[in-house]
Amino acid sequence: MDKLIALLPIAPLISAVLITLMAGRVSTDRYKVARLSVGFAILTCALAVFMLIMHASQPEPRILSLGWGSLYLDALGSVMAVLVSGISLVVHVYSMRYMAEDRGYARFFALLDLMAMSILLMVTAGDLVTLLVSWHLVGVVLYFLLGHDLRRAEAQRYAFWTFFTYRMGDLPMILAAVLLYQAYGTLSLPELFQQVSAVPYTPTLFDLPLAPTVGLLVALAAFARSAQFPLHTWLPYTMEGPTPVSALMHAGIVNAGGFIINRFAPVYVHAGEVLHLVFAVGLVTAILGSVLMLTQNDIKKALGYSTMGQMGFMFVEVGVGAFSLAIYHLIAHGLFKGTLFLGAGGMIGDSRKQDGVPHDDVYTFVVERRPAGSRLPWLLAAAITVIVPFVLLGISRWLLGGGFVGEQGAIILLFFGWVTGAQLLFATYRMQTDNPWRLMAMIILSLTVVVAGYTLMEHAFGRFLYPDQSLTQRIYEAASIPLPVFYALVAAVTLIIVLGWLAVFYNIANRGSRDRPATAIRLAIYSLISREFYVSDVYAWLSQSLLRLSRRLNVWFRWV
């Protein structure tokens, strides 16, 4: 049974080799190549589902030695294998017709198979060498996929940009592996985690404690791979690649940062300060990604910044110690965002059929022959917005029992859930309808079902990924900060958000949604956001400065 683990990365590799051999035959029907690739994708997905079912029935990690390395399949690896193979299968089927007119049709499917192989090898790696090789291969294959269209200079440019950022993320990962091997003398990941749990503060380079140092290096590698600020600029500009590649990347590849931190979860029990850094970086990334998403006029670029924001939220979850919730978020976002990218073309086509007339009250009454809508009283709507999501989230967590109130991570997640639910109700308030009470009631009912299902699923999923609840509790404790500071921050942020909502509700109720004249402050904020906070400009200035410096050095030393 353990030998079946090897088929997970080997099956797509065989498919890539066969496609490469078949592509050399001029008479070969190109659709035969696609059908072959899809067939192996189905086999890989079915095998991953089978392995997940077997692990659920016998929840014991399996390890397979391959001589040059090892494969390790636990709850995390089996879940990620199903996600990766499932999304890869959907992308394969979608690409059969989408890429039909492309010159490099066979090459594209071979690269898709190599990407599936690389990711599956990464999520099932059982030792440092296999993990590093697969971690590097994902970036290399992604470079070729993003630059698949050799005639588009922009695609080649941003593919190299992504490749360069990924290589920056490889350096701390390699250093972390070197430090671990130097300290414990083994490459096996299970053995390394046992040793880290037993002796976490072994002195390493410059007498730094091992576990926090490795945790920081792994986090830095995850920042680059998952587009965290300020290493996020490559992600929104990779839209020049084929749409199936965008779907695969945003649904699976960019999530690698969340996976790698979960894989090194035993290390972060002893790296609480690193978790605080992860939380801060994730929070900044989530805010910037969400703001920049709202200002884009290109649907694929907007989806790119949306992915950046979601990756930020995933790192916020990691930073508060909710490792299993981050994986659940990773899966939900991957399925959702993959669907959005594959449907982006249809949405663009539908938008071209619209007349562009805003649906204001006059348009609704004259053209659609419907009465103008109305809203709830602003104070009542504000009270519902603030109170209802908080009550729903509190009840859902209380029904599960346990001491979640003492877990700062759970409180922070409740806080973010409250903000998200309140934002949904606020968006409902802005919608005018002939029966606002019925609309609000339906939204609250839907929110109740989603919150209850999400909370129960997260609870059950956490127990499946981490059956050792003591590990989960120790991670929560490592992510905690002093209670007075924690409660002061929560109270201050809550007060600011509530006052902001009240001000917005009052403004809409008394002024409506009419455009206000642009002021100097509003124009400055818009300029800052439209230029994407000048991060790309700073990078461009740095690159030009380096080029000027290199030219001067060439002249001084007479190298050229």
Label each residue of 404-434 as H, E or C: HHHCHHHHHHHHHHHHHHHHHHHHHHHCCEC
Number of H helices and E strands in the chain, helices first, is 23, 2
Q: How far apart are CA 450 and CA 429, in angstroms?
A: 19
The 3-state DSSP class for residue 235 equals: coil
* DSSP-assigned letter for residue 328: H
Per-residue pLDDT of the chain (560 residues; tens, 9 = 90+): 567 888 888 999 999 888 888 776 644 567 788 888 899 999 999 999 998 888 888 878 888 887 778 888 888 888 899 998 999 899 889 888 888 777 888 888 899 999 999 999 999 988 999 999 999 999 899 888 888 877 777 778 888 888 888 888 889 999 999 999 988 888 888 888 888 888 877 777 777 888 889 999 999 999 988 888 888 888 887 777 788 888 888 777 888 888 999 999 899 988 888 998 998 898 889 888 888 887 777 777 777 888 888 888 889 888 888 888 888 888 888 888 778 777 766 666 666 566 555 555 555 544 554 544 555 565 666 666 666 656 665 665 555 554 444 455 556 656 666 666 666 666 666 665 666 666 667 666 666 666 666 666 666 777 888 888 788 888 888 888 776 777 677 677 777 777 776 777 677 666 654 555 667 777 787 778 877 788 878 888 888 888 888 888 888 887 65
Q: What pLDDT is stored for residue 405 in this prediction?
A: 41
In degrees, rounded to 5, the angle at the alpha carbon of residue 119 between the alpha carbons of residues 114 and 122 is 125
Return the pLDDT at 292: 84
How many Å apart are CA 223 and CA 221, to the nearest integer? Answer: 5
Q: Quote the pLDDT of residue 404.
A: 44
Q: Residue 58 is which amino acid?
A: Q
CB < 8 Å & 24+ apart, contacts of 446-452: 447/388, 447/389, 447/392, 447/421, 448/392, 451/389, 451/392, 451/393, 451/396, 451/417, 451/421, 452/392, 452/396
pLDDT number for residue 517: 62
pLDDT of amino acid 223: 92
CA within 13 Å, CB half, 252: 30
Show Cβ contacts of residue 216 under 8 Å, excluding neighbours closer than 6 positions: 172, 271, 274, 277
Q: How far is CA 357 from the centre of its chain?
A: 35
Name 65's bridge partners.
70
Please, where are the H alpha helices in 124-198?
A: 128-146, 153-184, 189-198
Q: What is the pLDDT of residue 532?
A: 79
Q: Looking at residue 26, what is its pLDDT? A: 47
DSSP symbol at 203: B
Q: How many whole angstroms separate alpha carbon 144 and alpha carbon 149?
A: 9
pLDDT given at position 488: 77
472-509 per-position pLDDT tens digit: 888 888 888 776 777 677 677 777 777 776 777 677 66
DSSP code of residue 6 = G
Environment class of 547 (CB within 10 Å of its CB; exposed 0-12, middle 13-18, buried 19+): exposed
Q: What are the E-state strand segments in 244-321? A: none
State the maximum Cα–Cα separation within the chain, in Å, rounded to a whole number.
Answer: 79
pTM of this structure: 0.81
pLDDT of residue 328: 83
Determine the pLDDT at residue 43. Answer: 92
For residue 531, the SS3 value is: coil
Q: What pLDDT shows up at residue 137?
A: 92
Supply the DSSP string of 59-73, one letter for each residue.
---EEEE-SS-EEEE
Q: 63 - beta bridge partners?
A: 72
pLDDT of residue 403: 45
Sole residue written with tokens 């592509």: 23
Residues with Cβ within 8 Å of residue 179, at least 6 apart in sequence: 204, 205, 210, 213, 214, 217
How many C-beta neighbours within 10 Å does residue 344 have? 18
